[in-house]
Chain A
Amino acid sequence: MTPQTTHTNASAQRQLVIIGNGMVGHHAAMSFLDACQGKADWAIHIVGEETYSAYDRVHLSDYFQGKTHADLALGTGDEYREHGIHTHLGVAARRIDRDAKTVALADDTVLPYDALILATGSYPFVPPIPGHNLPSCLVYRTLDDLDAIRNAASDGSVGVVIGGGLLGLEAANALKSLGLDTHVIEFAPQLMPVQLDADAGTLLRDKIQALGVQVHVSTATQSITADEQGRTVLAFADADPLVCDVVVFSAGIRPQDALARDAGLTLGERGGVTINNQCQTSDPAIYAVGEVALWNNAIFGLVAPGYRMAETAAAHLAGTDASFTGADMSTKLKLLGVDVGSIGDAHARSAGAVTYRYSNERSGVYRKLVTSADGSRLLGAILVGDNSLYDTLLQYYLNDITLPKEPDSLILPSSEGVPQLGVDALPDTATLCSCLNVTKGDVVGAIDGGCCSLGEVKAETRASSGCGGCAAMLTHVVNATLEARGVEVDHSLCEHFHYTRQELFHLVQVGQIKTFDALVREHGQGLGCDICKPTVASILASCWNEGVLEPAHVNLQDTNDTFLANMQKDGTYSVVPRIAGGEITADKLIVIGEVAKEYDLYTKITGGQRVDLFGAQLHQLPEIWTRLIDAGFETGQAYGKSVRTVKSCVGSTWCRYGQQDSVGMAILLENRYKGLRAPHKLKFAVSGCTRECAEAQSKDIGVIATEHGWNLYVCGNGGMKPRHADLFATDLDDVTLIKTIDRLLMFYIKTADRLQRTARWMENLEGGLDYLKDVILNDSLHLNIELEQQMARIVESYQCEWKAVLDDPEKLKRFRTFVNSDSADSNVVFVKEREQIRPARDDEKARLIATT
């Protein structure tokens, strides 16, 4: 092929060159393709200095949690090729020749352009402290930077971040996740001085210090030197020196505008390429977008405004009307696990601004509102420790919605939970999803256009497909709009059954239905799915208590139920034998130890007072369980939506304060309800006295000994949304206690929704706790005899699922890693940490496989 033939199309096509393949450069290319709607009269070239194609820099720290470039990538090479985009990666643009309209690259390629988009972004500012260029001094911006940090950290123990702003705290999180003893040095008297006030900064510092990161504010670094041991020493003006192994600078960003400067484009006084509302620079053929662009004398250091600029430039280039008119810089994030939110004029700098504050040191929550002088408009806000109000406050701010008469009612704790902004109060222009720029008007429009469910609205508008932070607000708007139009909101379990779990339970019981196939034939449609199959399996188990591995049920179960073990992230399983009440003999402990040693399993004590053994492959499970069952163990059912453990304290047998034998009661309860399948897992505890060492009030069923018997607490839980259990009945004798629990559990199993824990179930019952007491204690529905009988049947028919498997060669056949080979899964690779195995990370795996 001659060079001429490769260029035959070039003259017919116009050339768009995008310099910069970061998030915004990538978005510019994609937006331009969208804006052109497939008209092929443009060729697109994208130039990136990094060897990696565009990736999600917002989630950069995930790289240290095991994510790879492929996980973070925004588009693949194939995708670019598919769209006809030519990529030049790992090569910097060297010079723009505006007269010849060409861009010269470092590899001597010369790209002609008709239009050029600069998306070169920014670079981290490194203050000129003496020693700032030592090898241990790094920045936090690219994947290559992260590799450098990881290398430097590999034989070190202490890491320092210079800069306590938003990015500095992200970097601190990354250092901490590498296992370094982490310090943050901030010159200002507080953290995040741009977004937070002094009180919020102090609270954030306390919370971050509690998480093990040491924060030094009002601290100026004077010099950085290397000592004889090769470690790095930071010297400060008014504090002792700090010895460390890695220093990460995060002291702000500067626009990467050198190319534009050399090309003679107009820049701002402190850098940044000046753009107009169409994102054009002083040369109309050249656009600038993202952190290199200066609009109205401001640089926008967030990704969302960069995206809006990219869309504006793309639309303008494609001949559509579009303007960039500034962007909201409000932010909501989780820093080192701490919620932080900042909206608008957080510092109350507007004339006449009025401030309201709520601060709770016990729960570590700070909220501040800044309103107009008359209190009617929200000008700004700060949240630390809890972001649940953020979405509502942001809507007030962005849409200029009139505040309630007492604005502080929005930030004061209330028993009704978070005040929801009425859907009617939102104007059509209100942005619900800021990632994809979807407004309330777009959502209502989609419903006008025929969408009848949340799923359809999401598919139509793409709302909530970015960060997902708007999901609650979106659901609220969709449901309220549908209900206002008289559309019945669909509560179907899934597309195969137009019933709730409770309705299906009733159909199964009344119709004496014993299999999924029969139920789907009579009351559903299709093949089923991963939602309805396990739900129906659980209902069938609760009603008829047939083994979950019977042939008719085996294909309904989640993998954990199928293989009677808990699948971990690498596809191996963990094994948990039952240790009722947490009581175990020395002989049994020795057997667990021997099994763990023989199969080289990672061993961990669980919160439920038993031992979890990790790292078993599928084909090893039957051998392991043969050993355990021979020693007298039973399955602990840690894999099931079923009764897990009954935790206990040692009780009156040993403890000088004990009122009753709490261990004995715990073992009785655990053996009674083991194997019981429920809509969600169930946890119990029994405490021997009111000191409550077993933490019974955080369980679904909590029992606390009194002088005269037992107090019963119900519907508590730990987990994501902890709830204290409610006192249900007092001073019960053993028999009444068990009868009461029988009824309550059976009533829960029959009426709760899929994956609904006892707490939510009770809250959703009309009449709540009082109604439940009426049903269970006063038999107001005349159900109690039936409930007790049903429980008795389940208790009688208990069988250890693992024993049943080992006794049945047909069932054992499933426990093979491969049906046609005795090999193990070669992709399961472990490394040692603290003298035990753990799954190797991708990079470790690559190294290990390469060397074997």
Chain B
Amino acid sequence: MTANAQTPSQAHASITSPWVQVCKVNDLVPGSGVAALVLGQQIALFYLPDEQGLSASKRVYALANQDPASGANVMARGILGDIRGEAVVAAPLYKHHFSLETGRCLEDDHWQVTVWPARIVDGKVEIEWV
């Protein structure tokens, strides 16, 4: 397949799942989080650049910025780490841990925050708007 040959199914995919450009990689803080505003939605972006063997899409994570425990938009200001190998952010007010991959809360099954697929393309951070 050549670079500009677009099959109908690819065209379809790009319509239903657009990738939205959010910010530059330089706006991210290695090993930590920042918040961004996308279409009125507050999103926490986390950046783990030093992990070896991970593809670019695995190094940046996008979660809802609202912490379900406090209702405050503070998720981006939590500490990153891992619990039994699962990459997590600890929400800064009440310290619940949320999986960066799935948004699952490790302490309380009731709480699940939205996650968006995220990637870095040409120095730009993009999330898939689903």
Contact = CB atoms under 8 A, between A and B. Distances in A.
B77 interface: yes
Interface in B48-73: 48, 50-51, 66, 70-73
Given A495-B83, A563-B77, A570 B72 contact: yes
B34 interface: yes
A533 interface: yes
Interface in B87-129: 87-88, 90, 92-93, 95, 97, 110
B71 A842 contact: yes
Interface string A60-102: 0000000000000000100000000000000000000000000
A821 interface: yes
A527 B37 contact: no
Contacts of A528: 81-82
Contacts of A551: 30
Given A559-B78, A819-B45, 4 more contacts: A529-B81, A530-B78, A563-B77, A819-B34
10 contacts: A495-B84, A526-B85, A527-B51, A530-B90, A555-B79, A562-B77, A571-B70, A571-B73, A571-B77, A814-B34
Interface of B: 22-23, 27-32, 34-38, 42, 45, 48, 50-51, 66, 70-74, 77-85, 87-88, 90, 92-93, 95, 97, 110
Contacts of B83: 495, 529
A571 B74 CA distance: 6
Given A571-B72, A827-B66, A529 B82 contact: yes
Contacts of B48: 527
A375 B31 CA distance: 63
A820 B81 contact: no
A527 B82 contact: yes
Interface centre among A530, A816, A825 (most CB of B within 10 A): A530
A792 to B, nearest CB: 32
B60 to A, nearest CB: 12
Nearest to B94: A569
Q: Interface size bucket, A side?
A: 35 or more
Contacts of B32: 554-555, 562
Contacts, number: 101
Interface of A: 76, 495-496, 517, 526-530, 532-534, 551, 554-559, 562-563, 567, 569-571, 813-814, 816-821, 823, 825, 827, 842
B36 A819 contact: yes
Contacts of B73: 571, 825, 827
The 5 closest A-B pairs by CB, nearest first: A529-B81, A555-B31, A571-B72, A530-B90, A555-B32
Given A820-B27, A842-B71, A559 B22 contact: no
Contacts of B110: 76
B23 A819 contact: yes
Contacts of B84: 495
A817 B36 CA distance: 8
Nearest to A563: B77
B81 A527 contact: yes
B77 A820 contact: no
A303 B41 CA distance: 41
Contacts of B71: 827, 842
A627 to B, nearest CB: 23
A29 B15 CA distance: 44
A76 B71 CA distance: 18
A530 B81 contact: yes
Nearest to B48: A527
A533 B70 contact: no
Nearest to A534: B79
A496 B82 CA distance: 9
Given A554-B29, A567-B92, A820-B27, A527 B35 contact: no
B81 A559 contact: no
Nearest to A845: B71
Given A526-B85, A555-B30, A820-B36, A569 B79 contact: no
| Most chain B CB within a 10 A radius of its CB, from A533, A559, A817 | A559
Given A555-B80, A567-B77, A530 B35 contact: no
A818 B37 contact: yes
A559 B36 CA distance: 17
B104 to A, nearest CB: 15
Contacts of A567: 74, 77, 92-93
A569 B87 contact: no
Contacts of B97: 530
Nearest to A560: B92
A825 B82 contact: no
A531 to B, nearest CB: 8
Contact of A527 (B27, B72, B77, B87): B87
A818 B36 contact: yes
A712 B121 CA distance: 62
A820 B37 CA distance: 7
A827 B92 contact: no
B114 to A, nearest CB: 15
A817 B35 contact: yes
A761 B29 CA distance: 36
A823 B70 CA distance: 21
Nearest to A562: B77
B93 to A, nearest CB: 7
Nearest to B66: A827
A701 to B, nearest CB: 29
B27 A533 contact: no
Contacts of B95: 530
Which among A495, A526, A556, A818 has the highest number of chain B CB atoms within 10 Å? A818
A391 to B, nearest CB: 24
Contacts of A563: 77
Nearest to A532: B81
Nearest to A839: B72
B77 A559 contact: yes
A558 B29 contact: no
A526 B92 CA distance: 21
A733 B90 CA distance: 47
Nearest to A516: B31
B90 A819 contact: no
Contacts of A532: 81
Contacts of B85: 526
A529 B87 CA distance: 9
B97 to A, nearest CB: 8
B116 to A, nearest CB: 14
Given A527-B87, A825-B73, A558 B36 contact: no
A529 B72 contact: no
A534 B92 CA distance: 12
Given A818-B37, A825-B42, A533 B81 contact: yes
A814 B29 contact: yes
Contact of B79 (A558, A814, A820): A558
B27 A819 contact: yes
Contact of B92 (A554, A558, A821, A823): A558
Contacts of B27: 813, 819-820
A816 B81 CA distance: 23
Nearest to A822: B37
A818 B28 CA distance: 11
Contact of B70 (A559, A562, A569, A817): A569
A523 B93 CA distance: 29
A670 B87 CA distance: 40
Contacts of B93: 567, 569, 571
A713 B81 CA distance: 40
Given A76-B110, A529-B90, A820 B72 contact: no
